[in-house]
Structure 1
Amino acid sequence: MKLLFIGSRLYDDLDWYVKSKGIESILTESNENAINLDLPDQVFIVPRGMDGPKQVALMQNVDAVVPLIGIDPPLIDVAHMKEELEEEFGIPVIAANVRAVELTSNKIKTKEFYQEIGVVTPKYQILNSPKDLEIDFPVVLKQGEGQGGKDIMVASSMDDVDEYFNQFDQALCEEFIEGAEISIEVLGYNGEFVALPPIYKGETTLEGTHPLNKTKTGPCMVEGLDNNLIQHVAYKVAKNLASDGIFEMDFMFSRKNNQLYAIEVNTRPNGTRYLTTATCGINSLCELVNMACGEFSLANISDNLQYYYSTEIPVGNYNGPNPNEPVKSFEANDFIVHGPEGYQRITARAKSKEDLEKLIQKLI
């Protein structure tokens, strides 16, 4: 089996798994100084875009392509490459198709999609001027495109809205939902979809605290909220997107309204994947490899499900005990350290809450 991976930044998360399966690994990267270039069997430095990876896939006669892209802008080019390689050359590309990317990369289109399939989302309007505002404060102002909290403001007054419009000519204006922030991964391939355990990411704040600065826990345990409901809604969204790969979805749960609201969906690897793996033993990046190898199935996921309490804590720079090799695998560790220096995080797991607290005390 010969696989082509696109992008090196995330490759160390699954290099151990690729090697364990005896897969010949080829990687394309546009930055010759990028990290992890020493890990695959072969590396090709190519120009930005998908023409280079496509040519490498054909030249090397690979069995499948696995894009490891964690940002939104290249996803539409990946989707077009997927259509060409699959339809014209029969090479599977484990990524979202054009329709799914178009629906999820634009927050306004995502809102319209939620309404079409009957999924509850916060009240919203497209705001072309501050004077057009019809939703009561506080409100959330966003741009149609962007990720990681970029260009988002929680506005509590017209002065805030005016300030936002000093930078932008238009905004997606959404009612502010006070409550629990939740993420969930759904895996899908060849029409089969499985929703993994949801993750609790903390409470919403008027200050708009970035998720990276919050302590997260798994599985999600929010009073009054049934995790089966989250999984059911997430499955419904993925099923209607009808695409392949990883779907990461953000929800809010309002205790006041006893309502689960769908916020966003991404068709790429995401920031809660370590915590999901710690909680249930299913590594979404490794499952991309399984999809490429023809080994992904709901039965295999069910057979490999585990049950842990887990948490993810920002530590800046980690100075605790060294994890075992491979350092990015929970098969060898009860904790993983990830993220760049200065912004590192620990994701840890244990069979009980008490054991998890003891482990965290040992690590930090």
Structure 2
Amino acid sequence: MKLLFIGSRLYDDIDWYVRGKGIESVLTESNEEAINLDLPDQVFIVPRGMDGPKQVALMQNVNAIVPLIGIDPPLIDVAHMKEEVEEEYGIPVIAAGVRAVELTSNKIKTKEFYEEIGVATPEYQILNSPDELELDFPVVLKQGEGQGGKDIKIARSIEDVNEYFEEFDQALCEKFVEGSEISIEVLGFDGQYVALPPIYKGETTLEGTHPLNKVKTGPCMVEGLDNNLVQHTAYKVARNLASDGIFEMDFMFSKENDQLYAIEVNTRPNGTRYLTTATCGINSLCELVNMAIGEFSLSDISDRLEYHYSTEIPIGNYNGPTPNEPIKSFEANDFVVHGPEGYQRVTARASSKEGLEKLVEKLM
């Protein structure tokens, strides 16, 4: 079995799994100085875009293609390549299709999609000028495209809105919801979908604290919230997107309104994947490999589900005990260190809350 992986940045997360499966790995990357280029069996440096990976896939006669892309801009090109390669050459591409990417890469289209399928989302309006504002403060101002908190502002007054429009001509204006932030991964392939346990990412703040700076925990335990509702809603969204790969969804739970709100959905690997793996034992990136080699199964995932308490803590630079090899595997460790130097995080797990507290104390 030979697989083509697109992008090297995330490859060290699954290199141990690929080797364990006896898979021959081919990787394409546009940056010849990128990390992890020493790990795959073969590496091809190609121009940006998807034509290079497509040509390598055909030249190497690979069995499937697994894009490992964690940013939004290339996803639509991947989606178009997927449709072409699958239709013309019969090579599976484990990624979302064009429709799913178009609906999820633009926050306005995502809002309209939620309304079409009957999923609650915070009240919103499209602003072309501050004078059009009808919602009460505070509100959240966003651009249609962007990730990681980019171009998002919490406005508490009309002056804040005016300031935002000094830089932008239009905004998605959303009612600020005070409550709990939740993420969940859904895996989808060939019409099968499974929602993994939800992750708690902290409470909303008017300061707009970035998720990377918050302590997160799994599984999600928020008073008044039924995790089954989160999983059911996430499953409904994924099923209506009707595509393959990883779906990462952000929700907000308002205790005041006793309401779960859908915020956004991403069709790519995401930042909470380590916590999800620590909590339930299912590694979403490894499941992309399983999809590619024909070993993805809902019943198999159900049989492999584990139950742990987990947490993810931003630490800057990690100086604790050395993890076992492979260092990115929870099968070999009860903690994983990830992220670039200066912005590292530790994700740890244990079978009890008390055990988790002791482990975190040891690691810190």
Question: Do the two structures share a fold, i.e. TM-score over 0.5?
Answer: yes
Q: Give 1:252 deviation, angstroms.
A: 0.1
Q: Give 1:75 deviation, angstroms.
A: 0.2
The residue correspondences of 1:149-168 to structure 2 (distance < 5 A) are: 149-168=149-168
Structure 2: distance between partners of 1:167 and 1:363: 43
1:105 aligned partner: 105
1:357 aligned partner: 357
Confirm or deny that 1:130 pairs with 2:138. Answer: no
Q: Give 1:310 deviation, angstroms.
A: 0.1
1:245 aligned partner: 245
2:226 aligned partner: 226
Structure 1: distance between partners of 2:24 and 2:304: 25
Structure 1: distance between partners of 2:27 and 2:304: 28
Moved over 2 A (4+): none
TM-score (norm 1): 1.00
2:147 aligned partner: 147
Q: Give 1:145 deviation, angstroms.
A: 0.1
Deviations 1:203-256 (A, max 9, x none): 000000000000000000000000000000000000000000000000000000
The percentage of counterpart residues that share the same residue type is: 85
Structure 2: distance between partners of 1:86 and 1:132: 46
The residue correspondences of 1:247-262 to structure 2 (distance < 5 A) are: 247-262=247-262
Deviations 1:99-140 (A, max 9, x none): 000000000000000000000000000000001000000000
Structure 2: distance between partners of 1:154 and 1:334: 37
1:170 aligned partner: 170
1:337 aligned partner: 337
Structure 1: distance between partners of 2:118 and 2:57: 40
Structure 2: distance between partners of 1:342 and 1:154: 27
Structure 1: distance between partners of 2:348 and 2:162: 43
Structure 1: distance between partners of 2:146 and 2:259: 26
Q: Give 1:44 deviation, angstroms.
A: 0.1
* Superposition CA RMSD, Å: 0.2
1:90 aligned partner: 90
Counterpart code for 2:31: N
TM-score (norm 2): 1.00
Confirm or deny that 1:79 pairs with 2:47. Answer: no
Counterpart code for 1:105: S
Structure 2, gaps ≥5 residues long: none
1:37 aligned partner: 37
Aligned length: 364
Structure 1: distance between partners of 2:212 and 2:341: 14
3-state secondary structure, aligned to 1:66? strand
Structure 1: distance between partners of 2:162 and 2:207: 17
1:303 aligned partner: 303
Counterpart code for 2:73: P
Counterpart code for 2:11: Y
Structure 1, gaps ≥5 residues long: none
The residue correspondences of 1:42-81 to structure 2 (distance < 5 A) are: 42-81=42-81
Structure 2: distance between partners of 1:297 and 1:88: 26
Deviations 1:132-164 (A, max 9, x none): 000000000000000000000000000100110
Q: Give 1:6 deviation, angstroms.
A: 0.1
3-state secondary structure, aligned to 1:4? strand
3-state secondary structure, aligned to 1:140? strand
1:188 aligned partner: 188
1:217 aligned partner: 217
